[in-house]
């Protein structure tokens, strides 16, 4: 069977695309990638024509495996972990906690997602004044990361020691903290430094920096 094809958005802007891309790469799973530049007609309404052609939800990422389409970043990460089980921690309790962290990211942190649009290559000089719900999301994020690092820190620099799907889910958040100059506790800074030093993450970051497209809807956040 031909290699699966991962359809993704622009690497600079599409945080949901980064997640399964990292999981597939970390899992050593061969795949082809197909980048669809987001923005323009239909964007924000799940109506971009090129996206609809590959993803029935009108959103990327979408993984094509044979004649099947798997949409939703978390489901693609789960599929990756079925090929490469070490993408979840081996211990059943740690594995459940990693799934909880990944699920919390997938379903939550809505104020962070609203106020800190993903823009891998962008850096603000000064942290904006966040509304209360965003500050609450940040506090919860740091609490979650801090607790996991305290419990699993001896095993390595990632949330559960070694790279797991939970890290794939949170890697784009590290870039957001960097973009928006967010004041973060030392444990969070150290965790983000681990993500930024990861060679696979760096590959994504370099590609994001080199992309020719800009998405006006996201860039206008800075004016
Ligand atoms: N819940 C979805 C979210 C996917 C998503 O929102 N993708 C954005 C790009 S990061 C998208 O395709 N947007 C197209 C649009 O807004 O029209 C997942 O986890 O995969």
Does the Cβ of 211 fall within 6 Å of ligand 1?
no
| DSSP strands (E only) in 75-117 | none
Asked which of 1-5, 49-53, 105-109, 194-198 is least confident by mean pLDDT, the reply is 1-5
Query: CA-to-CA distance for 163 and 197, rounded, in angstroms?
Result: 12
Distance 150 CA to ligand 1 centre (A): 32
State the pLDDT at residue 216: 77
Question: What is the best residue among 50, 60, 217 to mutate for testing ligand 1's pocket, by most ligand atoms within 8 Å of CB?
Answer: 60
State the pLDDT at residue 211: 94
Average pLDDT over residues 131-144: 98
Residues 108, 184 within the same domain: yes
Does the Cβ of 43 fall within 6 Å of ligand 1?
yes
221 assigned to some structural domain: no
State the pLDDT at residue 222: 55
pTM across the whole model: 0.97
Mean pLDDT rounded to a whole number for the chain: 96
The closest-lying atom of ligand 1 relative to the alpha carbon of residue 42 is 17
Dihedral of alpha carbons 115, 58, 81, 32, sign: negative
Residues 105, 195 within the same domain: yes
- Residue span of the structural domain in which 74 resides: 5-84
Residues 55, 163 within the same domain: no
Using 50, 70 and 90 to split pLDDT, how confident is the model at 6? very high
Q: Which 3 state secondary structure label does DSSP give 205?
A: helix
Please give the tally of structural domains in the chain: 2
State the pLDDT at residue 223: 46
| DSSP strands (E only) in 13-125 | 32-35, 62-65, 68-71
Using 50, 70 and 90 to split pLDDT, how confident is the model at 221? low
Residues 74, 117 within the same domain: no
Query: Percentage of residues in the chain with pLDDT exceeding 70?
Result: 98
Q: Is the pLDDT of residue 218 over 90?
A: no
Q: Count of residues for the chain?
A: 223
CATH number at residue 62: 3.40.30.10
**How confident is the model over 138-183, as pLDDT tens digits?**
999 999 999 999 999 999 999 999 999 999 999 999 999 999 999 9
222 assigned to some structural domain: no
């Amino acid at each position: 069977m031909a290699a699966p094809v991962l359809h993704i958005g622009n690497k600079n802007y599409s945080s949901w695309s980064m997640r399964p891309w990292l999981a597939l790469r970390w899992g050593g799973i061969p795949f082809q990638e197909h980048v669809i530049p987001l923005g323009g007609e239909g964007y924000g309404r799940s109506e971009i024509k090129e996206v609809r052609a590959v993803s029935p939800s009108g959103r990327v990422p979408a993984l094509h495996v044979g004649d099947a389409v798997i949409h939703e970043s978390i489901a693609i990460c789960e599929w990756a972990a079925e090929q490469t089980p070490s993408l979840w921690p081996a211990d059943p309790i740690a594995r459940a906690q990693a799934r909880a962290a990944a699920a919390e990211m997938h379903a939550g942190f809505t104020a962070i997602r609203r106020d800190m649009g993903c823009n891998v290559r962008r850096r603000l000089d000064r942290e904006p004044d966040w509304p209360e719900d965003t500050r609450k999301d940040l506090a919860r994020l740091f609490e979650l990361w801090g607790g996991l690092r305290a419990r699993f820190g001896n095993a390595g620099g990632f949330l559960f020691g070694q790279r797991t799907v939970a890290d794939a889910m949170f890697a784009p958040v590290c870039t957001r903290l960097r973009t928006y100059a967010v004041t973060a506790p030392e444990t969070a800074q150290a965790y983000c430094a681990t993500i930024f030093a990861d060679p696979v993450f760096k590959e994504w970051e370099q590609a994001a920096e080199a992309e020719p497209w800009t998405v006006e809807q996201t860039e206008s956040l800075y004016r």
